Amino acid sequence: MIYQNERAIYVKIADRVCDDILSGKYQEDERVPSVRELAAEYEVNTNTVLRTFDILQRDDIIYQRRGIGVFVSPGARHKIRIARKQEFRKHELPEFLRRLRLLDMTIDDVVKAWKNNKREQ
Amino acid sequence: MSYILRTPKRKTNMIDVQNITFRYSSKSEPVFHNFCLQLEQNKVYGLLGENGTGKSTLLYLLMGLLRPEEGIITVDNADVSQRKRATLQQMYIVPEEFDLPQMRFTDYVATYRPFYPAFSDDILHRCMDEFHLPLDARLNQLSMGDKKKALMSFALATNVRYLLMDEPTNGLDLPSKKQFRKVIATTMTEERTLIIATHQLHDVEALLDHVLILQGSKLLLNASVADLCEQYTFDVRSNDALTDDVLYSERTPQGNATLSFRQPDDEETPLNLELLFNAAHKISLTANSPD
């Protein structure tokens, strides 16, 4: 069993930028922090942040305006949410269901917890 | 401030160590024998190695402070041992231990900045600010750690193309190490090469572009972090997961810290520099040499 399989730093930073786009900290067509600002925030090499920007640009989450900065693409939030849902269905949900069975719990327990949780919110 | 995304650049070897041999006295064993190394621009190098493998010696050789008995070291095509002004204007070393004159930092800066034509007040102020040091600090009243932070601020502000640091985080407390990483992350420019010799692997892990490990006057490893992470997986496993693809593993309270060949479909994992360092001393790692 592999206990810990961390993701590469540039991927983790991409995840954090996506978190901030989802939460609305960076709005669409708004500027995201520069390479240097992100490098300082996460205490990493600037080339690491360049790789982060590479993959975010490839996935059309951000776009570059030469000499001005890097901006959130229109529709980025929607795209991130779809990608994360897929991720959830593929990895977290099967693991969650596996554990339910392992612990002899039923889907009714989950529904009950879901309703309680909703009431609290 | 620029936001330029990665653009292909013409690569040139900026520091070229060609077949050098060096020994401290004619009777002693050579520290380096027929040693070669190329260092490129715009990279952060981690120079690692056990005690006495010649890390500091190599830094002094690169600076032209020591001279090889055979071979030549060129910096931007000029022989460093000739100590030409044009070369020295572009180089700075922060030694592991040093003394500073009894004066205020501002006077120190005024005295030594004329040697460095690209000196930047902006960088100086940002660094001293990040380190929470006053610009007019009296150098003889600073602690060792604060002296180091002041000299590193000056070093970064010189804006030289080649900056060498010998154990920069020794003597720094935890918050200062964090400040050090922030300062390095923000002041690295496209035009600069930084070479950090250190034992404090965790302090610099996320800052490096390239890893050099010295042993017995040879390079045990000379590989970019990108290549290493592409070729190897660093993870933590249970005993039954120590399969054939595992190259090296160490027992830890969390499980076996493991270095293995990365499968093409696997996601990349972050570099574990300490594990890599230990592995390199036990087995031969054949990561691609720099392209």
Indicate the residue among B191, B216, B241 that finishes a domain: B216
User: What domain range includes position B36?
Assistant: 13-216
- Chain A residues whose beta carbon lies within 8 Å of the beta carbon of residue B209: 45, 47
Same domain? B81 vs B149: yes
Weakest mean pLDDT among A85-99, B106-120, B154-168: A85-99
Contact B160, B90 (CB under 8 A): yes
Q: Is the pLDDT reported for residue B9 higher than 90?
A: no
Query: Residue B11 — pLDDT band, cuts 50, 70, 90?
Result: very low
Contact B215, B277 (CB under 8 A): no
Contact B232, B260 (CB under 8 A): yes
Contact B7, B154 (CB under 8 A): no
B249 phi and psi, to 5 degrees?
A: -145, 155
Sign of the Cα pseudo-torsion (A40, A44, A49, A55, in order): negative
The pLDDT value given to residue B291: 39
Q: Give the H or E element holding residue B15.
A: strand B13-22
Same domain? B182 vs B88: yes
**Taking the mean position of all CA atoms in its chain, how far away is CA B183?**
14
Residue B19 lies in a domain: yes
Same domain? B73 vs B206: yes
Query: Residue B189 — pLDDT band, cuts 50, 70, 90?
Result: confident
For chain B, what percent of residues have pLDDT higher than 70?
Answer: 93
The pLDDT value given to residue A1: 72
State the distance between the two ends of chain B, measured CA to CA, in whole angstroms.
29
The SS3 assignment for B156 reads: helix
Indicate the residue among B216, B246, B268 that finishes a domain: B216
Take residue B278 and report the two structure tokens written for it.
């230990």
* B246 in contact with A, Cβ within 8 Å: no
What type of residue sits at position A37? E
* A90 in contact with B, Cβ within 8 Å: no
Cβ contacts of A89 within 8 Å, gap of 6 or more: none
Q: Give the H or E element holding residue B227.
A: helix B225-231
The pLDDT value given to residue B217: 78
Best mutation target among B45, B178, B186 (most A Cβ atoms within 10 Å) is B186
Q: B38, exposed or middle or buried, with CB in 10 Å at 0-12, 13-18, 19+?
A: middle
The pLDDT value given to residue B12: 63
What is d(CA B274, CA B259) in angstroms, rounded to the nearest whole number?
11
Residue B6 lies in a domain: no
Contact B128, B135 (CB under 8 A): yes
What is d(CA B104, CA B137) in angstroms, rounded to the nearest whole number?
5
Contact B130, A36 (CB under 8 A): no
The pLDDT value given to residue B272: 93
What is d(CA B67, CA B87) in angstroms, rounded to the nearest whole number?
15
What is d(CA A4, CA B275) in angstroms, rounded to the nearest whole number?
15
Same domain? B174 vs B265: no
Cβ contacts of B176 within 8 Å, gap of 6 or more: B131, B145, B149
What is d(CA B281, CA B51) in angstroms, rounded to the nearest whole number?
13
Cβ contacts of A106 within 8 Å, gap of 6 or more: A100
Q: What residue of A is the nearest CA neighbor of B226?
A: A48
Residue A2's DSSP bridge partners are: B237
Same domain? B43 vs B145: yes
Question: What CATH number is associated with residue B94?
Answer: 3.40.50.300
B 204-233 → A contacts, CB under 8 A = 206-209, 229, 233
Residue B212 lies in a domain: yes
For chain B, what percent of residues have pLDDT higher than 90?
Answer: 78
Query: Residue B6 — pLDDT band, cuts 50, 70, 90?
Result: low
Residue B2 lies in a domain: no
The SS3 assignment for B270 reads: coil
The pLDDT value given to residue B289: 45
Query: Residue B287 — pLDDT band, cuts 50, 70, 90?
Result: low
Contact B87, B78 (CB under 8 A): yes
Q: What residue of A is the nearest CA neighbor of B42?
A: A47
Query: Residue B132 — pLDDT band, cuts 50, 70, 90?
Result: very high
Residue B26 lies in a domain: yes
CA distances from residue B124 to B16, B127, B161, B174, B270 in whole angstroms, order as listed: 30, 5, 16, 22, 32
Query: Strand B32-40 vs strand B44-49: parallel, antiparallel, or unpaired?
Result: unpaired
The SS3 assignment for B33 reads: strand
The pLDDT value given to residue B63: 96
Same domain? B90 vs B233: no
B101 phi and psi, to 5 degrees?
A: -65, 160
Residue B171 lies in a domain: yes
Range list for CATH 1.10.10.10 in chain A: 9-74
The pLDDT value given to residue A112: 93
The pLDDT value given to residue B13: 58
pTM exceeds cut of 0.95: no
- Chain B residues whose beta carbon lies within 8 Å of the beta carbon of residue A5: 233, 235-236, 267, 269
Give the closest of B188, B229, B234 to A46, CB-based: B188
For B13-62, the pLDDT digits (tens) are 589 999 999 999 988 889 999 999 999 888 999 999 999 899 999 999 99
Mean pLDDT over the full length of chain B: 90
Q: Is the pLDDT reported for residue A55 higher than 70?
A: yes
Same domain? B99 vs B205: yes
Partner-chain contact A4 B268, CB within 8 Å: no
Same domain? B87 vs B191: yes
* A3 in contact with B, Cβ within 8 Å: yes
Partner-chain contact B207 A45, CB within 8 Å: yes
**Among residues B35, B53, B39, B77, which one has the least CA distance to residue B224?**
B39
Partner-chain contact A67 B255, CB within 8 Å: no
Task: Establish, for the pair of chains A and B, how many residue pairs have beta carbons separated by less than 8 Å.
Answer: 93
The pLDDT value given to residue A4: 66
The SS3 assignment for B114 reads: helix
Helix, strand, coil tally for chain A in percent (to 5):
65, 10, 25
* B265 in contact with A, Cβ within 8 Å: no
What is d(CA B138, CA B122) in angstroms, rounded to the nearest whole number?
21
Q: What residue of A is the nearest CA neighbor of B235?
A: A5
**CATH pick for A9-74 out of 1.10.540.10, 3.40.50.1370, 1.10.10.10, 1.10.1060.10:** 1.10.10.10
The pLDDT value given to residue B267: 87
Residue B43 lies in a domain: yes
For B148-171, the pLDDT digits (tens) are 999 999 999 999 999 999 999 998
Residue B169 lies in a domain: yes
Q: What residue of A is the nearest CA neighbor of B44?
A: A45
Indicate the residue among B162, B182, B216 that finishes a domain: B216
Same domain? B161 vs B80: yes
- What's the total number of domains in chain B? 2
